[in-house]
Structure formats: structure tokens, C-alpha cells
Structure 1
Amino acid sequence: MTDYWSMDAALAEETLVPTKFKYGALGVASVLEPGSVRNDVEAGAKVEMPLWLATQLTRRGMTTFSLPEIYHERYRRKLNAGAECINLKGRAPYFYDVGNKCNEFLQDLTLSAFLSRTYATRYRELVSKGLSTVSGEAMLELQSKLSLEELAVFEAGRDSVSRAEMWSRGARPRRAAVYLPIRKRASAGREEEQQREARQRTNK
């Protein structure tokens, strides 16, 4: 389930998807297609709209939508050819989130397998290369090809390696100072002495 408060989830659902209207819609053409000279969308018309809107209208039986071009067969072949063949960050920054969201409606088993295979392949190839990359320029080039989902996992991996290297060199994280309450032995001893002096005066 998409996190309502996640900014990345909200941005992913702004991705435009090809949508076909089953019925006509009045007064929305200029909103869906800025610059359109028409006011109404005719039945059977195809427009691109944000994924969040397409899913809501499709759920109500008003439209159907299809996958963005990046998921078509020719792009699948390129992605299968090698991890660095396509710059996902530039073409589809939320590649996996959008693909999975679309597939909740399309129920395409080949798409599910393709997304899983692509993630496993790109993660293995690109992250393995990234962990051994020293040059800052090469690192920037590599990161520019990752989708935002891949980039988050990649940076977590880099951080883990960095921490492991620090540990192997004997570096230890600083421990926060712990302040323990001081027992009031001095005050307790003073009270005993005062009580003893009082008993002595009474006995006199």
C-alpha cells in the first residue's frame, strides 16, 4: 500500500500514462491537454493523464489506461541487454513504483517478471560497480543512471560498506556520555552526626 505521507509516492503517481475514455467527458479537455481548442473529451479519445487520476477513473469504469512507453517491448530488450543501457533516472525516475502500480490494474505476469528481473540485474551490476568505484566523476555518472528507488538502496549499501571499513580499522562510534545520579552519602552522614550530637546533649 502506498504511503499517503510519502513525497516520493506522490511524485511517482504524477507520472503520465496513456488513457482512453470509455465515455465522453464535458469541460475537461483543456485541463487534461493544455492548449486544446476543445472543451469536451469524446468517447474513445486517448489522452495522457497522471497515474493517480487514471487509476481513479479506471476504478469507476470510466477509462482504461496502458503502460508508459518505457515499459514497452523495445525498452525491455534494451534493459535486458545490460544494466547501463538505459538511464532510468532521466526517463523513469520511479520506474518500479509506477510499474507495480500500473500492474495492480493490468495484472500482467510478464510485467511482474520483467520488473523483478530488471531490478535484480541492475542492482547486482550497478551497485557492484559502484562499491568498487573510487573516482568521484565515475560515481556521479553511475548515480545518474539509477532510478530513485535504486539510488536509495545504492546509497544505503555505500553507507554500510563505509561503516564496515571504519570498524575494520578499529574506529568505534562515540558513545554518548551517561550521567548517573550521585548518592547523597555526605548529606546522610551529616544527618547521623547531628542526631548523635542531639542525643549527647539530651543525656547531659
Structure 2
Amino acid sequence: MAYYNPEAILTDAQKAPCTFELAVPGLAPLNNGSAIEHGTKLDLPLWMAEMLAVSKPAGPSSTSLASLDMPPALGPRVLNALSADPKSVELRAQAQWFYGLGERMLDLFDEEKMVELLIDMFSRQTFKQRALEIADKSQNTRTTQQGGDSGDFMGGLDETERQLFRAAHDGSNAVKRWFESSSRS
């Protein structure tokens, strides 16, 4: 995580499932006051789940306190839907910082199959197809300004895609203003 990067901080604040490998009674406040036993599953902020997954108790045990599991936003159901039709999935409903979460999971997991799947999804079809639609919608200023269907469209974009939309929209407007001002001269 980049220490001063708000996007990285917000990405690491997203919930990730973890399973406790040991009983940890001192962490009961994380479980609404109930004792944390072996096998307890909790959704914790990613930064905390990561710290628990790399923490080992003192003594001869080599087991970490918890194991970090793949968030449902990057589970098979969502990845299959993205493979079938990338534009039909509302990424924001899955995770506000979906692409950042995927990037963090690539850093944390060493499973080859999952790494290949995530890299394929992020680099090839999903992001490219969605970026084309974002660029297309950002050019339609009338729909954007009047609320049209862009409200529904924007509701499904994760934060990275929203930033891309704003940049494309602002760039288009700047080019239009430049053309207008240069044609008057």
C-alpha cells in the first residue's frame, strides 16, 4: 500500500474474508464480543486480514493466526459473468475499488491459476471492453449533463472507471472549447 495514496488506503479498507486458524480470545471485539475460535470466518478490512494472515503466534506453532480468502467480488461467479459479458456486471456493487482489490489480491496470492485468470481479466477483455463503453458514454455530454441513462451507467462503475470517465469527459470538453476558441480567431 502506498502510504500517502488515498486510493490505496481506500482499497485496503475493503472487506476481505478470512478464516481463523487458531483460537484468539484477545480479538473478540472483532467478532462482536464473541470469542474467536478455530475456524471462525470474518470479513475484515483487507489490511487487517493481511496482517493476521502473516502473523504467527509465539511458540512452536508454525500456523498463522488466520488465512486470507478470496473476496466474493473476485470469486468464480463474478469472474464468469465478466468473462461472458464484461459490460453487464456492475463492478461497484462487487467492490468500490474493484480493480485495486484485484491488484492487491495479485500481490497476496501465489496460486498460478488464479493469477493467470485475474491478469487475463484485467489486461485483456474486461477492462478494454468497459473502457470503450466509458469513452463512448463520456463523449455524450447531453446525456451526462441531463442525468439521462448515465446515472445508471455511472452507478455500476468502480472508482477507477469513474476517474477514467471524468478524464475522458473533461478532455472532450477541453477539446471542444479549444476548437471553438481557435475558430473565432
Asked if Structure 1 and Structure 2 have the same fold, meaning a TM-score greater than 0.5 normalized by the shorter chain, the answer is yes
Task: Report matched runs for 1:174-189 at 5 Å.
Answer: none
Deviation of the 1:159 alpha carbon: 0.8
Verify: 1:96 aligned to 2:99, yes or no: yes
Gaps of 5+ in 1: 173-204
**TM-score where L is the length of structure 2:** 0.80
Where structure 2 has 5 or more consecutive residues not aligned to the other structure, the ranges are 56-63
State the secondary structure of the residue aligned to 2:49: helix
Is residue 96–residue 159 contact of structure 2 (8 Å, CA) maintained in 1?
yes
Higher relative contact order (CA 8 A, sep 6+): 2
Deviates more, 1:102-111 or 1:131-140: 131-140
How many residue pairs get aligned? The number is 167
- How far apart, in 2, do the equivalents of 1:82 and 1:171 lie? 42
Work out the CA distance in 1 between the residues paired with 2:123 and 2:31.
Answer: 34
CA–CA distance in structure 1, aligned partners of residues 138 and 85 of structure 2 = 15
Distance 1:116 1:33, change over 3 A: farther
SS in 2 for 1:4: coil
Equivalent residue, structure 1, for 2:23? 24
Please provide the CA RMSD for this pair: 2.1
- 8 Å CA contact 2:138–2:166 kept in 1: the answer is no
Secondary structure of 1:101 counterpart: helix
SS state at 1:159 partner: helix
Give structure 1 regions of 4+ aligned residues with deviation exceeding 6 angstroms.
none
Q: Please say if residues 134 and 164 of structure 2, whose CA atoms lie closer than 8 Å, have aligned partners that are also in contact.
A: no
Q: Secondary structure at the match of 2:137?
A: helix
Higher-Rg member (1/2) = 1
Partner of 2:68: 65
C-alpha distance in structure 2 between counterparts of 1:66 and 1:112, whole Å: 18
* Aligned equivalent of 1:142: 153
Separation in structure 1 between the aligned mates of residue 109 and residue 95 of structure 2, nearest angstrom: 19
Q: Deviations over 1:48-73 (max 9, x none)?
A: 21100011122223221111112112
Q: What CA distance in whole angstroms lies between the structure 2 residues aligned with 1:139 and 1:96?
A: 21
Q: Equivalent residues in 2 for 1:122-161 (5 A)?
A: 122-132=130-140, 134-135=142-143, 136=146, 137-161=148-172
- Aligned-pair identity in percent equals 23
Matched, 1:106 2:101: no
The question of whether the paired residues in 2 share the 8 Å contact of 1:54 and 1:65 is answered with yes
2:25 alignment partner, SS class: coil
TM-score for both structures, normalised by structure 1: 0.73
CA distance in 2, matches of 1:41, 1:94: 29
Q: CA deviation at 1:158?
A: 0.9
Structure 1 contact 13–51 (Cα < 8 Å) conserved: yes
CA distance in structure 1 between the aligned counterparts of 2:93 and 2:24, rounded to whole angstroms: 33
The 2-side partners of 1:55 and 1:70 are apart by 17
Preserved CA contact (<8 Å) 1:32 1:48: no
